[in-house]
Amino acid sequence: MYVVATAGHVDHGKSTLVERLTGMWPDRLAEEQRRGLTIDLGFAWTTLDGREVAFVDVPGHERFVANMLAGVGPVPAIMFVVAATEGWMPQSDEHLDALRALGVRHLLVVISKSDLADPAPALAQVSQRLPDVPVVLGADLEAVRAAVVSLVDRLPPPDRDADVRLWVDRSFTVRGAGTVVTGTLAAGTLRVGDELEHAGRRVTIRGLQSLGRDRREVGAIARVAVNVRGVDRRHIGRGDTIRTPGAWLDTAEIDVLLRQPGELHRQLVLHIGSAAVPVHVRPLGAAGARLRLTRPLPLRVGDIGLLRDPGEHRIAAGVEVLDVRPPALRRRGAARERGEELATGHVRPPPCARITELRAMGFDADGTRIGEWVVDSDWWTQRGHQMTVALNDWTAGHDIAAGMPLEALRRQAGLPAAELLLALLEGTGLRVADGAVRRPDAELPARVDKAVRTVEEWLAAEPFRAPEADELADLNLGPRELAAAIRAGRLIRIADGVVLGPDAADRAAKILATLPQPFAVAEAKRALNTTRRVAVPLLEHLDARKITRRGADGTRTLLPQER
């Protein structure tokens, strides 16, 4: 199927031409038929030389330009109508400005009412404004049909595997069926039973119609009527979308490239798809701008729209969306640099984003893959450097801590997710334990090292005489200092406040091997020349390491050790 929209000044015969081509009068509202004036969008269809062609007929009056843009926005081809009786008129200019702003390249001009007036003046006016566009006389209906066929044959093939984003131009209720929305499907494929998304909620396709016939499946490009379950007709209307779930990001702030910009006011209306949304405009250089939308829209890089001043009935500029998640402009000179970047027509994708987010934004997933993330290699290298600096600074102020908390390091490194920090730590030699990061070769600060050396001297003389609490306090070895010494492998902890040398278990096993087996705690205490305060937890430590086994009667037996 092909879809063609009309354009042109009011009362130049657009609807009459559509009716002559299709046999269907496109105006559907009673007021339109009573006044003989197209107010809203009209629809008709026919088959031309084996090609199904749907027409979106738009109003020409200046008061209904917003309706005209809602119909033209998603449509790739235009049949522009100029009456021979009046020639080129003011709304002809506004419609042409709109088409140029939207970047429409596939046009056909029809000179209507050529049987009522000499078409030569109108032909000359069209030739001056659209020198490369084919022109036919509306009185020659066969020539018009042939020109429409030629027009649609020049259209690029649609991407029927693309994500769906159907801009709604009508919504209504059908008795017994529920909510129905219509629109021009520009890309993708709709199927009965598909789940789509509207305003963050899932909706299901109950039925499809195209060109007045029920369908199980409709591929782009096509006019479609979609019966949806899950949304009330009052909550969906023109300018809304139904779309592939999770494939689009709603955004209320975008950076755009301005095409054919005129005078830009701060307050304009953005027309994109079938939506018309008031925006605040912040110019960025001569060719770029940041738009703050009054309501979010599901936009992607590459989307085309236009800015219009409805008060002055003029097109202010065409816009091409370059970024749907633009960066903050707080740094001095950032706005100027952003303007220069926008002027090139391209912006870099985020240096770090999930693959699904890049797809929803309209960027290619170019970069280094890390799980579900894509990162820029230079940015990744910078994060590694920033992580090292942050760890050094933190360690300098926390010389006996177990390590820098992972979450604190993630924030300091500028990473959006913990899994990225773990990937960044790979190959660095840094250790992660108990939610903290530390260097494996971290040395004890001098004050702690000196105190631990004193304990080591005591234990060298009496290996199983653990220092008492007051002795440790005199050395300023509190729980944090002892923990640091244990992490460094200088001491082992066998109970609260009870520390021994790192080889205490092996030395104890050699001594206990000289005792008759099994042996009691008192025998072990005498053999090790220690106190019950040390002997009991030391034996439990040996049990845990499967050096000894405790019997039901409380005695121990030394177990054979693998050599």
pLDDT tens per residue across span 90-102: 888 888 888 888 8
Distance CA 242, CA 199 (A): 8
Give the lowest-confidence range in 25-34, 66-75, 266-275. Answer: 25-34
Instruction: Work out the pLDDT band at 30, boundaries 50, 70, 90.
Output: very low
| Residues 260-291: tens digit of each pLDDT | 767 788 889 999 989 999 999 999 998 999 99
| Residues 104-147: tens digit of each pLDDT | 899 999 999 999 999 999 999 999 999 999 999 999 999 999 99
Instruction: Work out the pLDDT band at 28, boundaries 50, 70, 90.
Output: low
Instruction: Work out the pLDDT band at 312, boundaries 50, 70, 90.
Output: confident
Rg (CA), the chain: 38
Q: Which residues pair with 291 in a beta bridge?
A: 254, 281
Distance CA 278, CA 311 (A): 12
Q: H helices within 185-269, ranges in order?
A: none
State both tokens at 387.
Answer: 């992580």
Residue with tokens 């007021």: 31
Burial class of residue 30, CB neighbours in 10 A (0-12, 13-18, 19+): exposed
Residue 68's pLDDT is: 66
In sequence order, which residues have a C-beta less than 8 Å from that of residue 295 and are 6 or more positions away? 252, 277
Once rounded to an integer, what is the mean pLDDT over residues 395-424? Answer: 86
In sequence order, which residues have a C-beta less than 8 Å from that of residue 345 and are 6 or more positions away? 257, 320, 322
221: preceding bond cis by omega (within 30 degrees): yes
Residue 430's pLDDT is: 85
Once rounded to an integer, what is the mean pLDDT over residues 390-415? Answer: 84
Residue 328's pLDDT is: 92
Residue 26's pLDDT is: 78
480 neighbors 401 (Cβ within 8 angstroms): yes
Question: Interior CA angle at 13 toward 221 and 113, to 5°?
Answer: 125
Once rounded to an integer, what is the mean pLDDT over residues 173-181? Answer: 89
Distance CA 226, CA 438 (A): 58
Give the lowest-confidence range in 18-27, 260-269, 314-323. Answer: 260-269
More confident residue, 301 or 175: 301
Question: Interior CA angle at 95 toward 271 and 30, to 5°?
Answer: 85
Of residues 140, 190, 148, 192, the one with CA closest to residue 166: 190
C-alpha dist (Å) from residue 543 to 232, 352, 448, 500: 70, 50, 31, 17
39 neighbors 31 (Cβ within 8 angstroms): yes
Of 53-67, 230-244, 258-272, where does the model show the most confidence? Answer: 230-244
Instruction: Work out the pLDDT band at 32, boundaries 50, 70, 90.
Output: very low
Q: H helices within 367-512, ranges in order?
A: 377-397, 406-413, 418-425, 446-461, 469-474, 479-487, 504-512
Of residues 377, 359, 375, the one with CA closest to residue 301: 359
Burial 104-124 (b: 16+ CB within 10 A, else e): bebbbbbbbbbeeeebeebbe
Distance CA 112, CA 7 (A): 12
Give the lowest-confidence range in 125-139, 366-380, 430-444, 519-533. Answer: 430-444
Long-range contacts: 38-47, Cβ < 8 Å, 24+?
Answer: 38/14, 38/64, 39/64, 39/67, 40/64, 40/67, 41/67, 41/70, 41/71, 41/169, 41/170, 42/15, 42/18, 43/182, 43/223, 44/18, 44/19, 45/211, 45/212, 45/223, 46/21, 46/22
Residue 36's pLDDT is: 45
Output the pTM of the full model.
0.77
Output DSSP code: residue 286: T
Judged by DSSP in three states, 222 sits in strand
State both tokens at 560.
Answer: 């054979």
pLDDT at 33 over 60: no
pLDDT at 35 over 50: no
Give the lowest-confidence range in 68-77, 165-174, 362-371. Answer: 68-77
pLDDT at 163 over 90: yes
Residue 38's pLDDT is: 42
Of residues 353, 376, 351, 277, the one with CA closest to residue 321: 277
